[in-house]
Amino acid sequence: MGKLTSSSLGYPRIGANREWKKALEAFWAGKLEEAAFLEELKAIRLHHLQKQQEKGIDLIPVGDFSFYDHILDTASMLGLVPARFGYEGGIVPVSTYYAMARGNKEASACEMTKWFNTNYHYIVPELNGLSPVLTQNRPLEAYREAKQELGIEGKPVLVGLFTFLKLSKGYEPAQLDELIGQYLPLYEQIVRELAQEGVQWVQIDEPILVTSLEPEDVQRIRRIYEALHAVAPELNMMLQTYFESVESYEEIVRLPVQGVGLDFAHGAKRNLEAIEKHGFPEDKVLGAGVIDGRNIWRADLSASLDLLNRLSAAVPFERMIVQPSSSLLHVPVTTAPETALDPVLSAALAYADEKLDEVVLLARAIREGADAVQAELDASVQAVAALNASASRSNVKVREAAANIESQPSTRHSAFAERRVRQQERFRLPFLPTTTIGSFPQTPEVRSARQKWRKGEWNDSQYEAFVKNEIRTWMDLQEEIGLDVLVHGEFERTDMVEFFGEKLAGFAFTKNGWVQSYGSRCVKPPVIYGDVAFIEPMTVKESVYAQSLTAKPVKGMLTGPVTILNWSFVRNDISREQVAYQIALALREEVEALEAAGIEMIQVDEPAIREGLPLKQSETEYYLDWAVLAFRLSTSTVKDTTQIHTHMCYCEFHDMIESIRALDADVISIETSRSHGELIHSFEEFTYDKGIGLGVYDIHSPRVPEVGEMVSMINRALEVLDPSLFWINPDCGLKTRGLTETVASLRHMTEATRQVREERKEGATV
C-alpha cells in the first residue's frame, strides 16, 4: 500500500438525476420488464464505480449499491424471508424482495425504521426462528462485476454480523449468543470465498460499535472476528465504524482485523483522544474519516490536513486511509446543477462528488506536500470563512432570543386535565374520534400544477384556484367518508420541511439536492445556512379556507422544530440546539397566527425526534430536554381551548415516554402499524394519560387493509389505553399513496371505528 491511500465507504444509489428511483418505479408500475430493469440498474451501478475510478479514489467500495436497502440485501442474502411471503428457498426472487419491502396483496411489508440517527430508513430483518442459509455471496458478485467490467480492484462492503443481528427483530436478548453461533458459519463462508477470489480488502460495517455497548457485547464482537480471521487470515478486513466515536476503543482496536475505520467528523473529539491516549496498533491500518459524509458543507481542508498530520503522530501515513466519515448515501450526488444559489453559499457546498475530490486532494497534499495543492486549500478556507462572515449569520435579534431561551414562555396556561374539559366542551367529538395525519395523495395533476406555477406557466391566481379546488374535493370526500376531524390536504406543499423552509429566513433550497429516504422515496432537504426567522404567515390562508367549507374542526398542519432541524442539512458553525430554538421561536408566531384566524386544532408534527437521539446513552437526556423545550416553545402560548396535536414515528416508546409526556401535546398520534404489537406491549408497562392515536394501518404499502384487521388493532390498543382518550387514524400522512387505495383504506378505517363503537356501546361524546 502506498503512502496514504484514499478510499470511500459508499456512494449514493439514486443517480445524479434520480435514474435509480425512476427505474424502480417504472418496474413496480409494470412499465419495465425485469430483465430490462436489471440491466438498467447494472448500468447505473457501473457508472457510479467508473466515476469514482476517474476521480482517482484508490480503494473503491463495491457492493454498497442496492435494489432498495442494504439491510434488506443482507437479509435476502441469508435467506431470511418471513413465511408469509411464500418463499421456497434459493436466491430470493426480485418480486419477493420487493414484497418484503413494500408488502403485497397477500402479505404486509416488513417493518421499516431509521438507520441510527439519520433520515435513511432500513427494512428490519425478522429472524423469528428462521434458519439462515447463504443464498448468494453478494459482496463476491459485486467484486467480480467491478473487476470484469471496469478493471477495478474493489473493496467489497459487508454489513457486519453483530450490527445485523442487533438491528434485527424476532428474538430475545438471551438468544443473541445462540444466533451468533447460527449465523457465523455463513459469514465465515462469505469471507473465505472473498479470500479465495483474491480480494485484498473487505469493508465490514459495524456502526453498532459507536452505540453504548455492554461488556459481553465486546466479547461477542471478539468471538465473531476471531472466527472470521481464522478462516481467512490472508484477507484484509477493515472494521468500519461511523456516525460517532467507537465504544470500548482499546478492545476494538485489538481485534484480529487488519484495519479499523473511525469517524473524525461526528466522533472526532473522543476518537482523537482515544488514539492519543492509548495509541493505535502497529499492525493495523487506520481508516481516517475526516471528510463529513453526512452533511453538505465544504471542508476547511487546511483544518482537515492538520487533523491528518496530528493523527500521523500515532499512525504513519503508510498505515492510514483517508476517507469520508461514513457512506455518502446521506448526501446528494453533485453540486454541478446548483447554479441558482447565492454564490457565497454555493461556494461553501460539497456533495458526494465534491467530497470525493476533497478526499483525493488531501491524499495528494500528503503525498506531494501541501504546496502542491495550496491554491485548493486556500480556496476551501476562504469559502468557509465567507459564509461565516455573511449577513445571513448575523441576525442579532434571533441570536439573542435563542441565547436567552429561559426567558421565553414554554408552559401551557393550564394542566392537560383542565384543558381537556374545555376542549370537550368546545369540539363535542364522538367516542373514538377519527382523523388523518395531514396530507392526501399528491397526484400527477397536483405535481404538474406545481411545476407549471414554479416555471411561470401559471400565475399565482391560477395556482391558488387549483389548490382551492383540490382542498374542496378532499373536504367533501372526508365528509362523505365520515371522518370527525378534517385536514386541508397539503396540496400546496411539496415536502413537509421544504414548504416551511421556503417561507422562513435562513433557509436555502437546492435544485438537485436529492437524497434517499426509503426505497424510491427521495427527499430534497432544505439547507439551514443562516439565522432562522419568521417572515409572514405560512399556512393560514389554506387552513382558513378549508374551515370555511365545513362545520367540523379542521386541523392546522405544521412541521415541528426538531423535525425541521433533523430533516434539513444544518449549518455547522453553531450547535444544533441553538438552531432548534431559532426554528421554534419562528414557528410559535405561525401557531399564534393560526389561532388568531380561528383554527383551534393545530398539529405540530415531530416524526423525527427519534432519529436525532444521540447514539450515546449518556447524551440522550440532554438531547431530549432541549428537543422537548423546542416543541413547547412553539406551542405553549395558545389558549386552553386550542388543541395541540403532534405526530411521531415509532420509537422505543418506553425509552422516551417521559419526554413524550413532557411535550404536553393534547393529542399524539404514533406511526406503529408495522410494529403495533411491540408498542402495545410498552403501554402494558407504562401508562399514557393524554390523547393518543396509534396508526391502525400502514401507509407505506399500497395494500388496503381489511376492516377486521383494523378492528383487532383498535381493540388490542384499547386493552391498555384509556378509550376516552383514544383516536383513530392512519399511521402517517397519505401523500405518497394513490387516490383509490387511500379512499378505500379510510372507508375501512371509519367502518372499523363504527364497529368498535357499536361493540363497546359507549356514550356519544368523550
The answer to the question of whether 649 is labelled as a binding residue is yes
The answer to the question of whether 651 is labelled as a binding residue is no
The answer to the question of whether 439 is labelled as a binding residue is yes
The answer to the question of whether 490 is labelled as a binding residue is yes
The answer to the question of whether 20 is labelled as a binding residue is yes
Return the C-alpha cell found at 115: 438507520
| H or E element in which residue 716 lies | helix 707-718
Return the C-alpha cell found at 116: 441510527
The answer to the question of whether 616 is labelled as a binding residue is no
Return the C-alpha cell found at 104: 403485497
Check if the beta carbon of residue 169 is closer than 8 Å to that of residue 125.
yes
The answer to the question of whether 647 is labelled as a binding residue is yes
* Nearest residue to 759 (alpha-carbon basis) of 712, 702, 720: 712
Return the C-alpha cell found at 348: 461553501
Return the C-alpha cell found at 145: 462485476
- Cα angle value 333/334/335 (rounded, 5°): 140
The answer to the question of whether 21 is labelled as a binding residue is yes
The answer to the question of whether 453 is labelled as a binding residue is no
The answer to the question of whether 605 is labelled as a binding residue is yes
- Taking the C-alpha atoms of residue 239 and residue 262, their distance in angstroms, rounded to an integer, is 9
Cα dihedral 395/400/406/410 (nearest 10): -30
Check if the beta carbon of residue 209 is closer than 8 Å to that of residue 245.
no
Alpha-carbon distances of 550 from 208, 368, 470, 546, 595, rounded to whole Å? 50, 71, 15, 7, 17
The answer to the question of whether 105 is labelled as a binding residue is no
| H or E element in which residue 543 lies | helix 540-547
DSSP string, 470-536: HHHHHHHHHHHHT-SSB--B-TT-SSTTHHHHTTEEEEE--SS--EEEETTEEE---EEEEEEEE-S
Catalytic residue among 70, 676, 700, 748: 700
The letter for the amino acid at 18 is R
Contacts 24+ apart (CB under 8 A), 382-385: 383/298, 383/347, 383/348, 384/297, 384/298, 384/299, 384/300, 384/348
The answer to the question of whether 418 is labelled as a binding residue is no
* Nearest residue to 660 (alpha-carbon basis) of 627, 698, 611, 617: 627
The answer to the question of whether 54 is labelled as a binding residue is no
Q: Look up residue 117 and give its DSSP letter.
A: T
Instruction: Look up 330 and say whether it is catalytic.
Output: no
The answer to the question of whether 542 is labelled as a binding residue is no
* Nearest residue to 358 (alpha-carbon basis) of 722, 7, 44, 723: 7
Check if the beta carbon of residue 262 is closer than 8 Å to that of residue 241.
yes
The answer to the question of whether 110 is labelled as a binding residue is no
Hey, how many other C-beta atoms are within 10 angstroms of the C-beta on 140? 21
The answer to the question of whether 671 is labelled as a binding residue is yes
Residue ranges for the known binding site for L-methionine are: 437-439, 490, 605
* Residues taking part in catalysis: 700
Residue ranges for the known binding site for Zn(2+) are: 647, 649, 671, 732
Residue ranges for the known binding site for L-homocysteine are: 437-439, 490, 605
Residue ranges for the known binding site are: 18-21, 114, 437-439, 490, 521-522, 567, 605, 611, 647, 649, 671, 732
